[in-house]
Amino acid sequence: MSLKIVTWALALSGALLYLLCIAYGLANPAGGHMREFLTIALPGFDGRGVTVALLDTGVDRTHPYIRGRLLEGIDVLDPGAGAVARPNPSVPGRPERHATEVAGLVAGNRGPVGLHGVAPGATILPIRVAGWQPDAAGGVAVYGRTDQLLAGLEAAVDPDVNGETLDGARVALVGVAEPFAAFTDGPLARACAGALALGTLVVAPVGNDGPAGPSYGSVSGPGGAPAALTVAAVDLRPEAPAVHVLLRSGLGVLLGGEQPLGGGDVPHRELTLPVVAAEARAAVAVGLPSTTALSAYFDRRGYSRIAGAGVLLPRGVSSPEAVREARTAGARAVLVDGPLPAGSLALDEQVALPVLGLPAEAAATVREQLAAGAGVSVSLGASMLRSNPGLAEIAPFSSQGFSLDGGVKPELAASGVGLATSTPGRNENGTARYGAVSGSST
């Protein structure tokens, strides 16, 4: 993308693009309490007069943090439904979350302790291109298909479907990603080029598949499109939560010392738990778990297999919904296979259990010991704030590499770890929910 095109896009969006890409960092998301946050913006610009099409799940239109900033939505999955966040059809109380979180990051206003989005004057056009849909396991999961995203891009450019694009959004913010699909001449890439030609800049996440991947990297689609502005996640928090961990099997120590607290909270006194490894079918590696996930944590008599334990999730699983499922089944701590940036997991104040990322070697040893019938336990101390060792570095989960034509991606890096924002639903006392979210789409 040439400098000329980027400058032109900035003029159209009233500098909203930079505001989107220079987000704010949250200092201490552990425990769900917002202590302080840093806002970086361009003086005199708040996105006023700019419409941002948000291509994502449905949004919670009743949340006070974003109420008044939303246009009537467009629902690709269920035309005419208005892009409202839908609940899980089989598990009440589990609505689609992601769009509510991203909408708050963009245009949230009048939040607790002065919290606001990076462009509180902007208007959001919600376009639901992902949501609860049938999955291959016979349940439901939150996802979107390529054809649904393409339809969403068309709606962003021409919302009233009259063939004129003067009413199109100047910025189309894509909140979903197709893993390992950095195609430069596929349908999504062509759609991004067409949108740009008609005055709509597509801003896309680089993906959350980390540095692993083939020689060209792990960039997602439509982030590989030459006409898309692709953004990676960087950690801008000066401090991050940590906890003292002792992981043991018998008398042997598998892991000891301070470890980053990926999310949640820990007791003020030592907590020692047996460790149980979750089966691969008990959680879904991409997006949200299916309706069969929770039942897999229970035996035929209805007893939880993980109640009172620290549960090690399957490889590749670290979604907030997987953590919520484990919490619902009675787990008192969640262990993830692989490192997590401190405070990076998107947990709201309703999910008060610690989440830790184990080094891959330690996680493999835990599975080996459990498979051999040996007991494994984890002890956790009190949480604390430490200087963030990952400050100003690309987040471990953020995808890296090239597009499939060898083009350099991403073009920009933005704050994407531990960001405070709105989450759908209400607390028991009726107050709105807020939480910390992470990812290249934030």
Q: Please, are residues 125 and 71 in contact by the beta-carbon 8 Å criterion?
A: yes
Torsion over CA: 30, 387, 416, 395 (sign): negative
Average pLDDT score over residue span 124-136: 94
Q: Are residues 146 and 253 in the same domain?
A: no
Looking at 352, 369, 387, the residue that finishes a domain is 387
Residue 185 and residue 139 in one domain: yes
Query: Is 372 in the same domain as 406?
Result: no
Spatial neighbors of 251 by CB under 8 A, at least 6 apart, are none
- pTM value is 0.78
| 191 and 325 fall within a common domain | no
Q: 206 and 273: one domain?
A: no
Q: Does some domain include residue 23?
A: yes
Residue 12 has pLDDT above 50, yes or no: no
Q: Is position 442 within any domain?
A: no
Instruction: With a cut of 90, say whether residue 261 has pLDDT above it.
Output: no
User: How far is 188 from 144, CA to CA, in rounded Å?
Assistant: 13
Q: Are 180 and 121 part of one and the same domain? A: yes
Instruction: Kindly state whether residue 361 falls inside one of the protein's structural domains.
Output: yes
Closest alpha carbon to 348 in 251, 258, 430, 424? 424
- Choose one of 347, 368, 387: the last residue of a domain: 387
For 388-423, what is each residue's pLDDT tens digit?
888 888 888 889 889 999 998 999 999 988 888 999
Mean predicted confidence (pLDDT) in 288-296: 53
Owning domain of residue 340: 241-387
Question: Mind listing the pLDDT tens digit for each residue in 60-100?
Answer: 999 999 999 999 999 999 998 999 999 988 877 789 999 99
State the distance between the two ends of the chain, measured CA to CA, in whole angstroms. Answer: 22
Residue 205 has pLDDT above 60, yes or no: yes
Residue predicted with more confidence, 150 or 215: 150
The answer as to whether 229 is a domain residue is yes
Q: Are both 293 and 364 inside the same structural domain?
A: yes
Residues 348, 419 within the same domain: no
Are residue 266 and residue 189 in the same domain, yes or no? Answer: no
Is 32 in a helix, a strand, or coil? helix
Q: What is the mean pLDDT of residues 124-151?
A: 92
What is the mean predicted confidence (pLDDT) over 34-40? 39
Answer with the residue of higher pLDDT: 214 or 291.
214
Band the pLDDT of 279: cuts 50, 70, 90.
confident
160 part of a folded domain: yes
* Residue 406, number of CB atoms within 10 A of its CB: 9
pLDDT band, residue 325 (cuts 50/70/90)? confident
What's the confidence (pLDDT) of residue 267?
Answer: 56
Together in a domain, 279 and 381? yes
Q: How confident is the model at residue 42 (pLDDT cuts 50, 70, 90)?
A: low
Which pair of structure tokens corresponds to residue 141?
Answer: 């999961």
Domain count, the chain: 2
CATH number of 340's domain: 3.50.30.30
Assigned domain for 200 exists: yes
Average pLDDT over residues 301-318: 85
- Tell me, yes or no, whether 365 lies in a domain: yes
Residues 221 and 328 in one domain: no
The DSSP result for 399-439, as a single string, is --BB-TTS-B--SEEEE-SSEEEEEEEE-TTSPEEEEEE-S
Q: What is the mean pLDDT of residues 437-441?
A: 85
Residue 373 has pLDDT above 90, yes or no: yes
What CATH number does the domain containing 28 carry? 3.40.50.200
- Do residue 16 and residue 138 come from a single domain? yes
**Of 369, 387, 405, at which residue does a domain stop?**
387
